[in-house]
Structures are given as C-alpha cells and as structure tokens.
Structure 1
Amino acid sequence: MSKKVTINVIAEMARVSKTTVSRFLNGKFDNMSEATKERIAETIAELDYHPSRQAQALKAKNSLLIGISVADISNMYTSRLLKGISDYFQNTIYQVLIMDGDNSIEREYSNLEKMVTERIDGIILQPLVHQPDHYQLLIDENIPVVQVDRYTEPFTWPAVVSDNFQKSLEVADLMKSKNYEEIIVLSNHINGVSSRMNRYNGLKTGIENTNITIKLIEIDDNKDWQNTLQSMLELPTKKALYALNGQVLWEIVRFLKKHHIAIPDDVGVIGYDDDMFADMISPEITSVSQNPQEIGRTAAANLMQIMNDETTLSKTIRIPSTIQMRESL
C-alpha cells in the first residue's frame, strides 16, 4: 500500500518545514523565496496531493471557498482573467466557485445570494452595477471583496484594473500624430461600466484643445448602429474607429469587410483588447493589449492578503497595458 501523502511528507521531500508547507497551502507567501515556492509546488504536483477541503474547513471553521462573479464568461478576456485567478489558488487550500452573470443584473444578484449562502470566505467581483449599495445590501461587511476589471463608485472595496484612462490618453496622442480629424468610438453601453467610462474619458481628455471631434455609437440594443456608422463614414474627413473592447472590434472588422471599406486607406481602426487575434488578419489591427491573467492573479493575491492579515489595501491597483502598433492606423 502506498504511503499516505501528508504535509509532513511534502515538507520532507521539499526540504522545508511543515509550517512552511502549511503557509504555502494557505497562500501566505510573505518572506518565502520563489525557489521555495517552486520546490513545494513541484513536490505537491509530483505526489498528486489534494488537501481535504472538508477536513480543513472543519478545522478552520470556514468554507475554504472563494466566490468569483464575472460579467460574461463567454468573453475571451474573462477566460484569461479566470486563468490568472485559478492559477493562484491552485495549490492553496481554497477552491473557487465561478458564477456567470451573463450581463444580467438579476442573475448576478442571484449568484451572489448563492455564494453568501455557501458561506464563502471571500469574493472576487467583476461588477455589473456601478453603485456599491446595490451589493452592500447583500454582501456582509465581514466578507472580504476585491473588484476586478471594473469598480463601483464611491469606492467600497479595492479593485485591480487596467490603466484604462492613461492608455486612452496615449491613444489620443497617437491619433493626433496620425492627423486624424474625427474619431468614432464604438462600444457596448458605457454609463455605469468604469472600464469603458475611463477609456472614453481618457480619449476625450487627450484631444481637448484640438480640432479633432469624437462621436460615440453604443451598439447595445441599437439595431441601426451599422446604418449610423455607414452614414458617418461617408463624410469627407480623415477618420479612425476606436472599439472599446475586443468583441466590438470584431463587429467593426466584419462590417468594414462586408461593405468593402479599406483599412487604413478609407478608415483607421484601433481596438482596446484584441482577444489575441489582431495580428492574424490583414491588415494587422493596432490594439491596446491588456494583461488579464496578471489582473486576475493580482486580484487573487490581494484577496488572500486581506483574508489572512485583514490588511487595508490601496483603493485601486492598475496593471499596465501596451499599445501594439500595427498596420491599421
């Protein structure tokens, strides 16, 4: 019969103390070297060790569950975000409970109710509602929460997001350097979604005191958006289209291809987040490349810190993104 794998066995094989293994499994990495973490992780994988969550939960008197509420799980950005979160918790004592809001406020609220019922130990929330009191009525103040990708205002919980405003300022500088006269912004609804509001406001701020004009088309529930866009493109100015997320970017590309509108000769195109496909078409599309996996990992690490140390963290952590210059501008 094979020897039962215990923390003592892991500690012996990894040449560390039992306490160090316990700290690793609880996500307490302070003062732990990367080499030590890697050695413990490799030992756990080699031994195929799986902590008994039920036993640990009884000992710790909590659920050892982390609730993750995302706006739309079908979005490729979200899948990469979840990858970062899941990777962080992989070798800890915690299990993750992922729930999809499907862009429905009602469904999101129902999901959060279920999480609270399950006595989750912490929540990572990609909020669909901009007002914090919508969530505070449901989520007990003793439950640690970290927001991800978006945030409520005024701030209630810390958030890990992209540098949306700053990067759109840089997009504005790029538009000025290319002598565009008009920027058409296309997006899902903006109001109440902090990431989209910051991208839009960053662009507006960046072109203040110039002759560049901005027009906005929100494509949600707008069956006429393609006709509106076509009419705008017929006007004799040098134009660029700015898609505020990857899904909208590909809607634009399909529209331009269908109507035989050439990129960049007839219109320039840039997208915020490109789902990693923007360099696989011709011409290649200029895009703002986010790092959702690092956003997810950072959110998970911050939630763990709050749960372990009851630490008060900064309101917002911004993970830098990068403008990938290609052929479409």
Structure 2
Amino acid sequence: MEKQTVTIYDVAREANVSMATVSRVVNGNPNVKPATRKKVLEVIDGLDYRPNAVARGLASKKTTTIGVIIPDVSNMFFSSLARGIDDVATMYKYNIILANSDGDSAKEVQVLNNLLAKQVDGIIFMGHRITDKVRAEFSRSKTPVVLAGSIDPDEQVGSVNIDYKEAAKEAVSLLAKNGHERIAFISGALIDAINGQNRLTGYKDALKENNLDYNEGLSF
C-alpha cells in the first residue's frame, strides 16, 4: 500500500492549530507560544512531516537552491571547489544541484537550461572558457550567474578567483631566488584564459624580472 504524503493540513488538524501556526513554527517565526511550538513540533516528528520545498519556493519566489556547473566531477580541483561551495551553502541553509558538463559547450548550455528550469536562485559556473553560446544564455536569463575557477576575458560576467598571474609570478620568483634557472611552465590548454593569459603572463614576467630567458621548449 502506497504511503500517503503528510501535508501541513494534517499537522494542523492533529495539533489542533491553524495551518498558519504550523507555517510559523516550520519557518522559525518567534511569534508562537512555547507550549504551542512544542506541541506542533511533536506532531511534526510523530507524523514525519516534511515541508514541500516546491510549494514553499512558489510562495516565497525563492527555492534556496544554487545550481553548480563543473566541467569534470572527477577533477580534484573542481570537485574541491564544489565541496567548498556546498559547505558555505549549507551554512546559509541553501542546497546545491551539481551538474557535470564534461567541458562540452553543447552540454554546458543543456545543463544550464535544466538548472534554470528548476528555478534555482543562482548559478555558479566553472568551465575552461566561456563560449559565445553559454554567454548568450547568461545574457538571456535573469538568474544571477557567477564564475568560479574560471574567468571571462571580456569581464561581462562576475567571478570569484585568485590572482592567477601574481600566483604564477610568486612561484617562479621563489624558484629563481633559490638558484634555479631552467624553470618549466606546465598548465592546461592555453585556450583557457586562466592558463593562456594569466598564468603564462605571470610566468614570463617573473622570468624577465629575474633576468632569465623565456624558453618556449619549457612550456607544456
């Protein structure tokens, strides 16, 4: 026999209070007498009532859900970022929906639209680069979008990142100060703005500042 879903009406009837009172208890509203709150919470526990997140989202026009798009869930860098995002979201009582794009531009558009269809409150996008198709979808949507572990060379989309150029400079300078002269540059695809524009530039600048020649054969 299929178990019936317990509704707010069932809780109100069992606790002999109004549905508005149950709603105030569920949402942590302080304007409820302690005895009434205790009674409602006991009924909620006894009936195993779980508020309908979809209905609450429709009423408040917020789903307290963030869509997170990453290019490769098995990549330690991106999975670590996703873990950090989830930790912070939990602190603020938000949930995340994680979507893997495989770094494919067509799939990026697909998963982006899937998340927008779920009425998420915001999108955190991680990808190797921002394609014109993805940028067009960002522009069409009214949902806030923030980049993480990615940058927009045109600076049209906000991002949260470190200073990749300065980080590369510091790493190279430290090696140079320790007497190393043949310093290699190993990165991902240079079509990625972080690698091709920021890290590589920082690498070259640091070599120049330390009177070392740039050797293209040491860039991988």
TM normalised by structure 1 equals: 0.48
The 5 Å alignment of 1:5-16 reads: 8=25, 11=28
What is aligned with 1:184? 184
Per-residue deviation, 1:141? 4.2
Letter in structure 2 aligned against 1:154: D
Q: 1:173 to 1:142 in 2, by over 3 A?
A: same
Per-residue deviation, 1:125? 0.5
Per-residue deviation, 1:104? 2.1
Letter in structure 2 aligned against 1:167: A
> 2:22, 2:82 → 1: CA distance?
29
What is aligned with 2:165? 165
> 1:134, 1:9 → 2: CA distance?
42
Letter in structure 2 aligned against 1:136: R
* Most deviating of 172-181 and 192-201: 192-201
The 5 Å alignment of 1:1-329 reads: 8=25, 11=28, 18=30, 52-90=52-90, 92=92, 94-131=94-131, 133-139=132-138, 140-194=140-194, 197-208=197-208, 210-215=211-216, 216-218=218-220
> 1:142, 1:159 → 2: CA distance?
17
Please list the CA deviations of residues 90-144 of structure 1 after superposition, one character each: whole Å capped at 9, or x if unmatched.
255543211111222222222112222323221001133245x432322324110
Q: 1:125 to 1:49 in 2, by over 3 A?
A: farther
Q: Which has the higher contact order (CA 8 A, sep 6+)?
A: 1
* Most deviating of 74-83 and 135-144: 135-144
Unpaired runs of at least 5, structure 1:
12-16, 20-46, 219-329
Per-residue deviation, 1:199? 1.8
> 1:8, 1:60 → 2: CA distance?
16
TM normalised by structure 2 equals: 0.69
* Most deviating of 108-117 and 66-75: 108-117
Q: 1:93 to 1:182 in 2, by over 3 A?
A: closer
> 1:84, 1:188 → 2: CA distance?
22
Q: Is the 8 Å Cα contact of residues 5 and 49 (structure 1) preserved in structure 2?
A: no
> 2:213, 2:171 → 1: CA distance?
13
What is the RMSD of the two structures over their aligned residues, measured on CA atoms? 3.2
Larger radius of gyration: 2
Per-residue deviation, 1:76? 1.5
Q: 1:50 to 1:172 in 2, by over 3 A?
A: farther
Q: Is the 8 Å Cα contact of residues 181 and 213 (structure 1) preserved in structure 2?
A: no
Q: In percent, how many aligned pairs have the same letter? A: 23
Per-residue deviation, 1:87? 1.7
Query: In structure 2, the residue corresponding to 1:137 is in which secondary structure?
Result: helix
> 2:24, 2:85 → 1: CA distance?
24
Please list the CA deviations of residues 238-293 of structure 1 after superposition, one character each: whole Å capped at 9, or x if unmatched.
xxxxxxxxxxxxxxxxxxxxxxxxxxxxxxxxxxxxxxxxxxxxxxxxxxxxxxxx
Residues matched between the structures, number: 185
Q: 1:67 to 1:195 in 2, by over 3 A?
A: farther
Letter in structure 1 aligned against 2:128: L
